[in-house]
Amino acid sequence: MECPRIRWQMFVGLATALTVAACDNSTAPGGAGASTMSQADVAEAVAGFEDDADVSLGALFSGSTMGMANSTGGLALSRDPGIPSLACIVVEPNPPEDPDGDGIPTRLSVHFDPDPCEIGLGRGTVSLSGSLGIFDPTPETAGYDIVEELTNFGFKLSLAERSYMVVRSGRRSVSQEGSVLTADELLEGLHVVNGEREKHSRVDWTLRFEGESTIGYLQPLPSGALTINGSWAWTAGDRERVFGVETVTPLQYDATCADVRPIHRFTAGEIHKVLMVNGQTRGTLILVWTGCGERPARTFVPSGDQPTDHPTDGGDQPTDGGTI
């Protein structure tokens, strides 16, 4: 059996895929206290939520966190002898075992030596760090089922005009039953833009995707409906926001939508993010998807008020004029 070589473009592609959302994470910090939320707070929270959702959706749509790079031209494993391997990437075992032939290794570990591993990009550098473990919970039965464990797995993109770093730790698992995929995720993230204050996120949610046709591992997902339910927390400085996430209307995934960001590949659907402070509901952030390639429109409704409409411009400012 030919030993697969790890394609270095995969990791550059992964970094590129993960940094697409970083451009939206530069919102200026707001000055609201622990029980209030300014317009800047809302914009920052939405950008952070989209960033984490992109990672979750990209991994689900592509089969794994490593598979996310497929959308940017990279492959997790390649047997093409013309593609160079990157010396600092350590993959064990290599070749991986895959007795059921479904493309998911029985167990695979990826880390970097040295750590961080720096890659020149011409305009700047990408530094990769941490480790990623992947294993097949049903190694003798072909299917989409996969478990991933991330330990300080992330990157830092450094360009002349800006920098962005994200590091994630936690666990995600995906199971398949017919045309339905279910992903359970518990992940913590560290985000730093341009060397400014650290921002932390915590994802604890379940994604359920029901395809309109057969689902095959590492094959493009068909169109279908997606729900996200659970919680999402965002901490910036001394301000922490904890949201309950509930899908009110399933998000309609369009398999023909080519937007680079997974979160923008839905043509309809509605999610409510309920802000909780000290056990009290402070308001609801309503996200509504209206078309391929468009950011979800959003309306923030303080507790006790009722939404009157949904904005359609998808801009960076929420529709309310104050704080809660």
Cis amide linkage into residue 307, ω under 30° from 0: no
Does residue 311 fall inside a structural domain? no
Contact 21, 201 (CB under 8 A): no
**Residue 34 confidence class, pLDDT cut points 50, 70, 90:** very low
Measured CA to CA, the distance from residue 276 to residue 284 in angstroms comes to 9
**Residue 43 confidence class, pLDDT cut points 50, 70, 90:** confident
Joined tokens for residue 287: 């996200």
Residue indicated by tokens 């939508």: 257
Does residue 323 fall inside a structural domain? no
Measured CA to CA, the distance from residue 308 to residue 96 in angstroms comes to 55
Measured CA to CA, the distance from residue 266 to residue 314 in angstroms comes to 14
Number of continuous H segments (helices) and E segments (strands) in the chain: 2, 14
| Minimum mean pLDDT range among 38-47, 154-163, 306-315 | 306-315
Listing DSSP states for 198-246 in one string gives -EEEEEEEEEEEEESS---TTSPPPSEEEEEEEEEEEEETTEEEEEEEE
Measured CA to CA, the distance from residue 190 to residue 175 in angstroms comes to 27
Contact 134, 174 (CB under 8 A): no
How many domains is the chain built from?
1
Does residue 68 fall inside a structural domain? yes
**Residue 315 confidence class, pLDDT cut points 50, 70, 90:** very low
**Residue 65 confidence class, pLDDT cut points 50, 70, 90:** low
Residue indicated by tokens 């909780």: 276
Sign, CA torsion 162/42/242/244: negative
Does residue 146 fall inside a structural domain? yes
pLDDT by residue (tens digit) across 135-188?
999 999 888 889 999 999 998 888 888 888 889 999 999 988 989 999 999 999
**Host domain of residue 36:** 8-302
Percent of residues, the chain, with pLDDT higher than 70: 74
pLDDT by residue (tens digit) across 173-224?
998 898 999 999 999 999 888 878 888 999 999 999 999 998 877 678 899 9
Sign, CA torsion 263/282/24/191: negative
106: Cα within 13 Å, side-chain hemisphere:
10
